[in-house]
Each structure stands twice: as C-alpha cells, then as structure tokens.
Amino acid sequence: MSDTVILAPDYQPVNYLPLSTIDWQTAIKLFFLDKIQVLEWYDDWVVRSAKLEMRVPAVAVTKKGFGKNGGMRFSRQNLYLRDLFTCQYCGDTFNGKQLTIDHVLPRAQGGTTTWENCVAACKECNSEKGNKVWRPNKAPVKPNYWALVNSVKSTYTGIRHPSWNLYLGLKDNDSKIAKNR
C-alpha cells in the first residue's frame, strides 16, 4: 500500500516512478529506527498496539541512504508515461492494459529493449506492424526526469493526504487529473 510519501534529504521525492511511497507499517518501523523524520501525520488515522497509540506518517524525509538515481529506469509504466498513454502509430490514447511495448526495430532484427528503441503501441497496431519497421509519431528518446514528472502530474491520481500535493509539486487538484488509466 502507498501510505507514506518518502522524500530524500533534499526534500525531493526519492522516486516519482514508481512514486516513492511505503506502507504504514514500514513507515512506523523506520520512524522508530530513527531512519526518517516525519513532516506530516494523518489527522484521522491512528494505529494502536498493546503498548502504543500513534498517528500514521503521511510524509517523511529519509535521514540518508535511499538517494536519487540519475537515469530514469526503463519500465513498462515509465514508457507509457513518456508516451502519455498514446499509441505512437495510430495516435489514440489507451489505458495501460490496452497498450504494449513495441520495438521500433523488431527484436528479430536485433532491436533492443531500450528507451531509444521502444514506444507505446496499442495491441492492434503492434500486431499489424509485426516484424516490419514503422516510423513512430515521435522519435523515442530517453526521457529526462522532469519530463516524466510532468507526465505523472497529469496522470497520477493516488493522492492519499492533502499535503502530498505540496511535496510532490502537484498543484492541480484531483478533479483536474482525469486521464483514463
């Protein structure tokens, strides 16, 4: 579960993709291990054990460790985000289940699974394309961090606590974030 947002020591999210969240049990464990500093607590979410009663952290900063890795990790979700859930051949928008990863230069011809050789394609286009080489609407490139962050802002809907908007730089309210996923 995504209960607590984790920020790096510079107060930036450790990872947008997947969003760096942890479940509340882990958050409380890290808190007692003195690994995180809690910035925001849920007002209305209290957990109890035999010995203790406490609110659940909503946003926390790591004291050190996690670190931000420079390059964006290639993954299905990140690729769809880069392409804004749009098939790069027919130009229609789909949800994640209807999309596939298409190798621009097919694997059979030595195409690699990399940012530069993969695009989002709907199932129909992908099967029609087969082992042919089609030119995608947008030349695939490795996205930079902020480009993906902007994609997340326009597609992310999993806000659990109002303060997340602030820490994630998500100024828009949820109603404006209405991408079909």
3-class secondary structure, 5:
strand
Tell me the per-residue interface mask from 34 to 73 with Zn ion, x by CB under 5 A, - otherwise.
Answer: ----------------------------------------
Phi/psi at 37 (5° precision) = -115, 130
From the list 60-68, 73-81, 101-109, 118-126, the region that binds Zn ion by CB under 5 A is: 118-126
Beta-sheet strands, E only, within the chain: 4-7, 21-22, 36-48, 53-62, 99-103, 118-122
CA-closest candidate to residue 94, choices 126, 70, 71: 126
Which of 1, 46, 47, 90 is in the footprint of Zn ion by CB under 5 A? 90
Total number of residues binding Zn ion (CB under 5 A)? 5
Q: Is 119 in the site for Zn ion (CB under 5 A)?
A: no
From the list 46-54, 70-78, 87-95, 145-153, the region that binds Zn ion by CB under 5 A is: 87-95
Q: Which is nearer to Zn ion, 47 or 90 (CB)?
A: 90
Q: What is the β-pairing status of strands 4-7 and 53-62?
A: parallel
- Residue 122's CB is within 10 A of a number of other CB atoms, namely 21
**Binding-site ranges for Zn ion (CB under 5 A):** 87, 89-90, 122, 125
